[in-house]
Every structure is written in structure tokens, then in C-alpha cells.
Amino acid sequence: MKKSDIVAAVADKLDLSKKQAEIAVDTVFNTIRDGLKNKEKVEISNFGNFEVRTRAARTGRNPRTGEDITIPEQNTPAFKAGKALKDSVN
């Protein structure tokens, strides 16, 4: 399923134009992104939680030269599905 499919489904279910539905979907995604950007946990009841996790710095290897390199610490988004979502999939 692509974003355009989500927009079409929202437009269909809420009797909106596709443009209005796209604005709504974009607003939801942007709000989640902004929350994660501010290192906030985003909890959506009966769906799941989005959060930012920190990956520790580590040593890696440059595949081209074989030289050891240091990969710096970085933040990465993570999602943990809620019980209702897990149950609906199984």
C-alpha cells in the first residue's frame, strides 16, 4: 500500500476530495515526524508507538579499502506495534 492508496481510502471513507484527504494524511505524517524530531514519543492508541532510539557509535569496515572506520552515534526512528494492531494482523 502506498501513500496514494491511503489518501484514496481516506477520501472515500470521509467523503472528501483527494486534495483534502492528502492534506489530512500529510498533516498526520508531519505531526508524527515533528514529534520525533523533538525526541518525543508519539503514542497512537490501538495502533502503536513511535519513538527515537539512539544507536551507539561503533567500528565498521570500509568495504572498498578494508580499512576500519568509526561510525558515529546516531538517532533512528522506531515503531512498536500495539496489541490491537498485532491482534488484527494475526
For residue 58, what pLDDT is reported? Answer: 95
For residue 6, what pLDDT is reported? Answer: 96
What is the extent of the structural domain holding 59?
Answer: 3-89
Contact in structure between 3 and 21 (CB atoms under 8 Å):
no
List the pLDDT tens digit at each of the 90 positions of the chain.
999 999 999 999 999 999 999 999 999 999 999 999 999 999 999 999 999 999 999 999 999 999 999 999 999 999 999 999 999 998
Cα 7 to chain centroid, rounded: 17
Q: Give one DSSP letter per residue of 22-51, joined into a string.
A: HHHHHHHHHHHHHHHHTT--EEETTTEEEE
- Report the domain count for the chain: 1
Buried b (16+ CB within 10 A) or exposed e, 76-86: eeeeeeeeeee
For residue 12, what pLDDT is reported? Answer: 96
For residue 59, what pLDDT is reported? Answer: 95
CATH of the domain at 36: 4.10.520.10
* Phi/psi at 64 (5° precision): -75, -45
**pTM given for the model:** 0.79
